[in-house]
Amino acid sequence: MAQIEGRVRELLEQPNFCFVATVRADGTPHVTPVWVDVEGDEVVLNSAEGRAWPSNLERDPRATLTIADKDNQYEYVSIRGRLAAKTTDGADDHIDAMAKKYLGQDEYPFRQPGEERIILRFTPEKVHHNA
């Protein structure tokens, strides 16, 4: 497992978007921009059940996560890893915390009726920082 430290951790802690690359059933890549969080050496993402990229991860847990500095797009982190865990526990509170980080709002404003939020935790296998 790779370590998340220093400037890499800073980029994950700041409100920078994360581009999640997964593999579709037909082998083609699927890339989605999402909000990102970090806890210890795990990258933490939040989504809703039924969306394409989490479904791709259930079939193939490999992903590449790319986080670019919003103030300098030439600085980025690329994290290659695997889905370590998926849970609904705490997912609603987590998406509210992400709304605070990215939008300055106390509650996630885009929640859909009946939507079930999920937390996806990634174990990094390789971390590359381009400064």
Q: With 90 as the cut, is the pLDDT of residue 55 above it?
A: yes
Mean pLDDT of 92-120: 97
pLDDT at 129: 97
Residue 24 within any structural domain of the chain: yes
pLDDT at 3: 92
**Distance (Å, whole) CA 100 – CA 71:** 19
pLDDT at 49: 96
Whole-structure pTM value:
0.94
pLDDT at 1: 82
Residue 70 within any structural domain of the chain: yes
Mean pLDDT of 79-96: 98
Single-letter amino acid, residue 14: Q
Mean pLDDT of 57-69: 97
Q: Scanning the structure block, which residue is given the tokens 């600085």?
A: 75
Mean pLDDT of 108-119: 96
Residue 1 within any structural domain of the chain: no
**Distance (Å, whole) CA 11 – CA 1:** 19
Mean pLDDT of 16-45: 97
Per the structure, how many domains does the chain have?
1
pLDDT at 77: 98
Domain that holds residue 32: 6-130
Handedness of CA 52, 81, 108, 116 (dihedral sign): positive
pLDDT at 85: 97
CATH number of the domain bearing residue 98: 2.30.110.10
> Taking Cα atoms as reference points, which of 1, 11, 54, 6 lies closest to residue 36?
11
Residue 126 within any structural domain of the chain: yes
By the 10 Å C-beta count (0-12 exposed, 13-18 middle, 19+ buried), 41 is classed as middle
